[in-house]
Protein backbone atom coordinates (compact mmCIF):
# COMPACT_ATOMS: atom_id res chain seq x y z
CA UNK A 1 0.00 0.00 0.00
CA UNK A 2 1.23 3.52 -0.72
CA UNK A 3 2.22 6.15 1.84
CA UNK A 4 -0.10 8.94 2.98
CA UNK A 5 0.20 12.13 0.95
CA UNK A 6 -1.61 15.33 0.07
CA UNK A 7 -4.48 14.89 -2.44
CA UNK A 8 -3.54 15.58 -6.06
CA UNK A 9 -5.03 18.52 -7.97
CA UNK A 10 -7.43 16.15 -9.78
CA UNK A 11 -8.54 14.58 -6.47
CA UNK A 12 -9.12 18.04 -5.01
CA UNK A 13 -11.25 18.98 -8.03
CA UNK A 14 -13.39 15.87 -7.52
CA UNK A 15 -13.70 16.69 -3.79
CA UNK A 16 -14.89 20.20 -4.73
CA UNK A 17 -17.56 18.70 -6.98
CA UNK A 18 -18.68 16.41 -4.13
CA UNK A 19 -19.11 19.37 -1.79
CA UNK A 20 -21.04 21.68 -4.14
CA UNK A 21 -24.53 20.47 -3.22
CA UNK A 22 -26.14 20.94 0.19
CA UNK A 23 -26.49 17.89 2.45
CA UNK A 24 -26.32 17.32 6.22
CA UNK A 25 -22.70 17.62 7.34
CA UNK A 26 -21.45 19.06 4.03
CA UNK A 27 -19.39 21.85 5.62
CA UNK A 28 -17.56 19.43 7.90
CA UNK A 29 -17.05 16.89 5.10
CA UNK A 30 -15.56 19.68 2.98
CA UNK A 31 -13.27 20.84 5.81
CA UNK A 32 -12.07 17.28 6.32
CA UNK A 33 -11.48 16.55 2.63
CA UNK A 34 -9.24 19.59 2.23
CA UNK A 35 -7.15 19.05 5.37
CA UNK A 36 -6.70 15.27 5.29
CA UNK A 37 -3.95 13.08 3.98
CA UNK A 38 -4.79 10.24 1.61
CA UNK A 39 -3.28 7.09 0.17
CA UNK A 40 -4.22 5.08 -2.90
CA UNK A 41 -5.92 1.74 -2.29
CA UNK A 42 -6.65 0.58 -5.85
CA UNK A 43 -5.87 1.23 -9.52
CA UNK A 44 -9.13 3.17 -10.10
CA UNK A 45 -8.21 5.99 -7.74
CA UNK A 46 -9.98 4.95 -4.54
CA UNK A 47 -8.38 6.51 -1.47
CA UNK A 48 -8.13 5.74 2.20
CA UNK A 49 -8.39 9.02 4.09
CA UNK A 50 -6.46 9.61 7.31
CA UNK A 51 -8.69 11.66 9.65
CA UNK A 52 -7.05 14.83 10.98
CA UNK A 53 -9.98 17.13 11.81
CA UNK A 54 -11.60 17.11 15.23
CA UNK A 55 -15.07 18.34 14.15
CA UNK A 56 -17.31 15.40 13.28
CA UNK A 57 -19.47 15.61 10.18
CA UNK A 58 -23.13 15.13 11.24
CA UNK A 59 -24.12 13.12 8.16
CA UNK A 60 -27.30 11.02 8.20
CA UNK A 61 -25.78 8.04 6.37
CA UNK A 62 -22.40 6.53 5.59
CA UNK A 63 -22.44 7.72 1.94
CA UNK A 64 -24.06 11.18 1.97
CA UNK A 65 -23.00 12.22 -1.55
CA UNK A 66 -22.15 10.46 -4.77
CA UNK A 67 -21.25 11.30 -8.35
CA UNK A 68 -21.08 9.38 -11.58
CA UNK A 69 -20.12 9.76 -15.22
CA UNK A 70 -19.59 7.56 -18.26
CA UNK A 71 -16.18 6.13 -19.03
CA UNK A 72 -14.97 6.11 -22.64
CA UNK A 73 -16.14 2.47 -22.90
CA UNK A 74 -19.71 3.48 -21.99
CA UNK A 75 -19.68 1.98 -18.48
CA UNK A 76 -20.63 4.13 -15.50
CA UNK A 77 -17.93 5.27 -13.07
CA UNK A 78 -19.10 5.94 -9.49
CA UNK A 79 -17.45 8.27 -6.97
CA UNK A 80 -18.52 7.95 -3.31
CA UNK A 81 -17.45 9.61 -0.06
CA UNK A 82 -17.66 7.29 2.99
CA UNK A 83 -18.10 8.91 6.43
CA UNK A 84 -17.68 6.69 9.50
CA UNK A 85 -18.24 8.04 13.01
CA UNK A 86 -18.30 11.59 11.66
CA UNK A 87 -14.92 11.22 9.90
CA UNK A 88 -14.38 11.03 6.16
CA UNK A 89 -12.55 7.71 5.80
CA UNK A 90 -12.74 6.70 2.14
CA UNK A 91 -13.16 8.07 -1.36
CA UNK A 92 -14.35 5.13 -3.46
CA UNK A 93 -14.11 4.94 -7.25
CA UNK A 94 -15.51 1.98 -9.17
CA UNK A 95 -17.16 1.00 -12.44
CA UNK A 96 -20.37 -0.98 -12.81
CA UNK A 97 -18.50 -3.94 -14.28
CA UNK A 98 -15.52 -3.66 -11.85
CA UNK A 99 -13.09 -3.07 -14.73
CA UNK A 100 -10.28 -0.50 -14.62
CA UNK A 101 -11.03 3.05 -15.70
CA UNK A 102 -10.35 3.47 -19.42
CA UNK A 103 -9.94 7.24 -19.09
CA UNK A 104 -9.59 9.61 -16.13
CA UNK A 105 -12.75 11.74 -16.23
CA UNK A 106 -12.90 15.51 -16.09
CA UNK A 107 -14.42 16.64 -12.77
CA UNK A 108 -16.82 18.92 -14.70
CA UNK A 109 -18.35 15.83 -16.37
CA UNK A 110 -19.54 14.35 -13.07
CA UNK A 111 -23.24 14.28 -12.25
CA UNK A 112 -23.40 14.84 -8.49
CA UNK A 113 -26.39 13.85 -6.39
CA UNK A 114 -27.34 13.66 -2.73
CA UNK A 115 -28.57 10.27 -1.66
CA UNK A 116 -31.95 10.22 0.10
CA UNK A 117 -31.85 9.46 3.81
CA UNK A 118 -32.57 5.86 4.78
CA UNK A 119 -36.18 5.06 5.50
CA UNK A 120 -36.93 3.98 9.07
CA UNK A 121 -37.86 0.32 9.49
Would you give per-residue pLDDT tens digits along the chain (121 residues)? 679 999 999 999 999 999 999 999 999 999 998 888 999 999 899 999 997 877 899 999 999 999 999 999 999 999 999 999 999 999 999 999 999 999 889 999 999 999 777 777 7
Q: Please indicate, yes or no, if residue 54 is contained in any of the structural domains.
A: yes
This prediction has a pTM of 0.90
Range of 63's domain?
9-114
Q: Please indicate, yes or no, if residue 78 is contained in any of the structural domains.
A: yes
Q: Please indicate, yes or no, if residue 3 is contained in any of the structural domains.
A: no
Q: Please indicate, yes or no, if residue 120 is contained in any of the structural domains.
A: no
Q: Please indicate, yes or no, if residue 33 is contained in any of the structural domains.
A: yes
Number of domains in the chain: 1
Segment holding 39, helix H or strand E:
strand 37-40
Q: What is the pLDDT of residue 89?
A: 94
Q: What is the pLDDT of residue 1?
A: 61
Q: Please indicate, yes or no, if residue 71 is contained in any of the structural domains.
A: yes
Long-range pairs of 58-63 with CB within 8 A, sequence gap ≥ 24:
58/24, 58/25, 58/28, 58/86, 59/23, 59/24, 59/25, 59/29, 59/83, 59/86, 60/24, 60/25, 60/117, 60/118, 61/115, 61/117, 61/118, 63/115
Q: Please indicate, yes or no, if residue 4 is contained in any of the structural domains.
A: no
Over its C-alpha atoms, the chain yields an Rg (Å, rounded) of 14
Q: Please indicate, yes or no, if residue 100 is contained in any of the structural domains.
A: yes
Amino acid sequence: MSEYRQPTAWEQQIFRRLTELAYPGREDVEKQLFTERVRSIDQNGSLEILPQVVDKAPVVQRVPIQAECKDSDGRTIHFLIHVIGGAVREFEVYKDDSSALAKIPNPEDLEVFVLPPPTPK
